[in-house]
Amino acid sequence: MNYFKKSSLFPFPFLLLCCSIIVFFNNGVVNASHKVFPELQSTSTVDVKNVHRTGYHFQPPKNWINDPNGPMYYNGVYHLFYQYNPHGSVWGNIVWAHSVSMDLINWIPLEPAIYPSKVFDNYGTWSGSATILPGNKPIILYTGVVDANKTQVQNYAIPANLSDPFLRKWIKPDNNPLIVADVNINKAQFRDPTTAWLGRDGYWRTLIGSVLGNKGLTIMYKSKSFMKWKKVQHPLHSVDDTGNWECPDFFPVLLDGTNGLDASYNGKNAKHILKVSLDVTRFEYYTVGTYDTKKDRYTPNNTSIDGWKGLRLDYGNYYASKSFYDPSKNRRIMWGWSNESDTVDDDVKKGWAGIQTIPRKLWLDPTGKQLVQWPIQELQTLREQKVQLSNCKLEKGDKIEVKGITPAQADVEVTFSFSSLDKAEPFDPSWADLYAQDVCAIKGSKVQGGLGPFGLLTLASKKLEEYTPVFFRVFKAQDKYKVLMCSDASRSTLENGKTMYKPSFAGYVDVDLTNKTLSLRSLIDHSVVESFGAGGKTCITSRVYPTLAIYDNAHLFVFNNGTEAIKIETLNAWSMGKPKMNWSFGHSSY
């Protein structure tokens, strides 16, 4: 088959605010993503409820979405495919919906690219990745489900017409499936092929997520032709007692600098990242490590914990992420799915569920110990009205309202400083075994601290009946300071649906406090607060459903609830505009 043969950032004047000081009052079942509700899978959406829909995050006009699939840049166009239910707002009937963009901000919806129609995918067209083959030819690897027992195989699809700039139509050739599980593989947990990479030996490789017993693993396959694949005897990597691994992502990162690398890069000066989505915890874990190309083995650095206590791409509601290399800007970009935290009944009533987070550029931190993630620069084109605060002191219990922007749809960047670390609270040694999220649930934003809690009160109602605080608390542990970053949904809504999920998401921030500053950026968008601590070292996404703090009734405050005074060095906040987000475009099936 010859397909495989080689061949203006600130448009509005900003407003300088004086600091007004108001006293801060001291008031005081994860829905597993693919829980199946057969009776609701095809209840077509009659009415879409807008109140919590996002203004600038990726969403289709209605219905359920989950994992981003096969993101790629091809001939000047960005493509995003994603798992989509065309018939309802709970998981089911999954197809690969398809949208294209010139800037990763404005999106044009197209017809679904891949949907069940053949013996090798009749029961499901699940997640996968795109690879650009030599000769500039894109190919998709995806998981097909072939029977009611959920037997999974790996298939490929190619564009019907390479000269169509949007690659609207995709073909699934009859020599599918390309990869079938052998007897040693759990064939009902065998999915989500990665972008393939080419080794020096001329063989392509791809990874498939799986589980054996309770050991999570990435099974590796090799191929010279891309058509005939052979299993490598050992997995690229596996970890005992981690359960099923979904959506693996494996890519090189430069040791110095923020540029991205193509998956097939095999020069010096790079490390590798292995990211997996752990089905049991529904979080995304990664390690920084070394890929031995001769032995085809990956070994995490000894600074990277390999398992549930390891680094997470995001400590909040973020799953099934997938990255791609963007050659036009020489960067690696990560997409992730943020599921709803409300109930299934709510989703049916809303007529929609799931968003994609803002694409993030990612690179290796200069310490070499972790990734750094930052919203893509194109997001700044949506910034409108700007407000700036600087040099504002917040004593214990103070809070300042940030006025003059639309707090329900905003981008906020703030740098805090403090003059001493002396008042940092002691870190209780019994917390050492807890997750950061548990410590945040104990301490939160309302328990007065020493150095912190300080940060933002996002999506807040005027009298603070509802708010989602995003904040830092600094602790003094035996040998070092520990910076806790929280995004706490526990008071985000007066709606008290029993099964509504309102977690106190949190992560630690490995940051040097010598300069006595900490920075925070939050992207606030009606039902999502996506936050980046210390320039993107720790990221947390929360989904929240305020009842009072909606539209023009949402407020934004900066607060300090610690005994050490805090200074806002600078705070820049912008109202965010609304991009063209999958508005109809000669298209019938949505």
Pairing mode of beta strands 451-460, 425-426? unpaired
Has 249 been annotated as catalytic?
A: no
533: Cβ contacts below 8 Å, ≥ 6 apart: 472, 483, 485, 507, 509, 511, 518, 519, 520, 539, 540
- Is the Cβ of residue 88 or residue 579 nearer to ligand DQQ in the bound state? 88
Nearer residue to ligand DQQ within complex by CB, 54 or 277: 277
Length, in residues, of the chain: 590
**What x/- string results for residues 400 through 439 when contact with ligand DQQ is judged by CB under 6 A?**
----------------------------------------
Q: How far apart are CA 83 and CA 65, in angstroms?
A: 6
Which residues 6+ apart lie within 8 Å of 193 measured at CB? 128, 129, 141, 142, 143, 154, 179, 206, 207, 208
The alpha carbon dihedral of 263, 537, 81, 575 has a sign of negative
Q: Least distance (Å) from ligand DQQ to the CB of residue 246?
A: 4
What gap in Å lies between CA 220 and CA 367, rounded to an integer? Answer: 30
Name the nearest CA neighbour of 15 among 572, 439, 577, 562: 572
143 binds ligand DQQ (CB under 6 A): yes
66 touches ligand DQQ (CB under 6 A): yes
Which of residues 511 and 528 has its CB atom nearest to ligand DQQ in the complex?
A: 528
85 binds ligand DQQ (CB under 6 A): no
- 522 binds ligand DQQ per the rule CB under 6 A: no
Q: Are 204 and 226 in contact (CB under 8 A)?
A: yes
Burial category of 347 from C-beta neighbours within 10 Å (exposed 0-12, middle 13-18, buried 19 and up): buried
Tell me how far, at minimum, the Cβ of 337 lies from ligand DQQ, in Å. Answer: 7
CB of 282 to ligand DQQ, least distance (A): 9
From the CB of 244, what's the least distance to ligand DQQ, in Å? 8
CA distance 575 to 570: 17
Q: Is 126 in the site for ligand DQQ (CB under 6 A)?
A: yes
Closer residue to ligand DQQ in complex, CB, 209/452: 209
- Nearest distance, CB of residue 290 and ligand DQQ, angstroms: 27
Of 72, 108, 139, 247, the residue at the interface with ligand DQQ (CB under 6 A) is: 247
- Cα separation, 178 vs 70, in Å, equals 17
Q: How many residues bind ligand DQQ (CB under 6 A)?
A: 14
Least distance (Å) between residue 275 CB and ligand DQQ? 13
Binding mask 183-212 for ligand DQQ (x = CB under 6 A): --------xx--------------------
Read out DSSP for 504-566?
EEEEEE----TT-EEEEEEEEESSEEEEEETTTTEEEEEE---SSS-GGG-EEEEEE-BSS-E
275 counts as binding ligand DQQ under rule CB under 6 A = no
**Which of 47, 67, 174, 510 is the catalytic position?**
67
Each residue 1-40 as x (binds ligand DQQ by CB under 6 A) or -, in order, gives --------------------------------x-------
Residues in region 321-380 near ligand DQQ by CB under 6 A: none
Nearer to ligand DQQ, 185 or 320 (CB): 320
Q: Which residues bind ligand DQQ (CB under 6 A)?
A: 33, 66-67, 83, 94, 126-127, 143, 191-192, 246-247, 319-320
Which positions are annotated as active-site residues? 67
